[in-house]
Structure 1
């Protein structure tokens, strides 16, 4: 037996906000946190958590600013939780080894580098080696340290939060970290309930997806101009968004 979204409940007295993929949109992340802050100040929940579901860098215009924001938020209040995404790990991998065929080099890393004042031109090995050297000097140690210790998942009540999803049939505590940040079809196409409702991003969709066994809050923020979050309070669930027009 598993847990259906309609029946799932968060822990007593804790309001949870789960924010989808940011991808360099510092403007939207700031607006989302402002919306959340206003709600908390108005409603005064007994406790709260803000869970960021990963993919803070690449594609959008200000990955450096996003990492600054989150590094400070997590350090200043442990109720801010930031999970690892595949693009965040790809950034770390590029800093360790400048692979022209890797995720960072081919799927939005140029925008991340530009946010640090480093411009990657061409696709030859020498160009990537030069950009890698500059980027390693430009990226603050705090950003590397922050990304290096991101957890892959967190669980509250009947909800399990991760970047991409889980491997169906495997106990939640035994999930492979690679699946938690990379899995798609085997998870997305699974029709049955899981031990908990899985809240994830990673697979962009024009609207948030509320399914019996999972919730996807990746609404392609870097392109759509809309960052989405799921709000959980007891058995009540709702969606909020921060948009470029708001």
Structure 2
């Protein structure tokens, strides 16, 4: 595979500033505060070009998934420089909307709170009750939220940086990574010490503090539980962490 790119060497495209934001999981107040802070920097500094990349997992667990999706729909529609990637929980929500199982990712991992943010209380204790709640949720959920989730890309790359939700399968070319790995991979990726073709910036696996390794950066600081949402700012070779807390 040849030499890869290390954290210290990774650089943005000439004249472009990048921001990446870790897993939101329904923590809408934190997301709104962090986005406002980033936009304030952009408007103050006026970089030639910029991107804000959200790393997926917008729903479940936290209290305000509806608010998160509503803001992301507005942001991405009004400015293509705001990029939202797919996380496994976002896919799990779509799966539930298509196939209301009481045993899927959504039902077992914080989907109750997501439904509640739309004003629907789902009883996941039986198939029949789950289907009833599912019908209510489908009726209450704006079609544009579902369309937004269905259109989320699985990765994005700018300069020496590769952005995805969970990580990549080492040794597989970036353009050949599977959606399943990009949204779910853990052990094989996290345990790999070798450099990748680009520096991988990801979330998915909650950590107490942002994890900066030679070959990857993990920005999932468990916002819904810790009250801390983390971003990485990249410009040229310069990198800086930004965090908002409840």
Secondary structure of 2:119's aligned partner: coil
CA distance in 2, matches of 1:111, 1:58: 6
> Comparing 37-46 with 54-63, which one deviates more in the overlay?
37-46
Show structure 2 runs of 5+ residues with no match: none
- Partner of 1:78 in structure 2? 80
CA distance in 2, matches of 1:48, 1:7: 19
- Partner of 2:238 in structure 1? 236
Distance apart, 1:122 and its partner CA: 4.5
Q: 1:5 aligns with which of 7, 23, 26?
A: 7
Q: 2:49 aligns with which of 25, 47, 50?
A: 47
Question: Is 1:69 paired with 2:64?
Answer: no
Show structure 1 runs of 5+ residues with no match: none
- Partner of 1:112 in structure 2? 114
CA distance in 1, matches of 2:124, 2:60: 18
- Partner of 2:92 in structure 1? 90
Q: Aligned runs of 1:157-236 on 2, under 5 Å? A: 157-236=159-238
Q: Aligned runs of 1:17-32 on 2, under 5 Å? A: 17-32=19-34
Q: Write out the 4+ residue segments of structure 1 that deviate beyond 3 Å after TM superposition.
A: none
TM-score under structure 1 length normalisation: 0.98
CA distance in 2, matches of 1:124, 1:38: 48
Distance apart, 1:199 and its partner CA: 0.3
CA distance in 2, matches of 1:48, 1:3: 21
CA distance in 1, matches of 2:123, 2:210: 35
Q: Check conservation: 2:163, 2:201, Cα contact below 8 A.
A: yes
Q: 1:139 aligns with which of 141, 162, 165?
A: 141
> Comparing 38-47 with 161-170, which one deviates more in the overlay?
38-47
CA distance in 1, matches of 2:152, 2:216: 22
The number of equivalent residue pairs is 244
Secondary structure of 1:164's aligned partner: coil
Please give the per-residue CA displacement for 1:123-174, whole angstroms capped at 9, x wherever unaligned: 1111101011111111110000000000000000001000000000000000
Secondary structure of 2:129's aligned partner: helix
TM-score under structure 2 length normalisation: 0.98
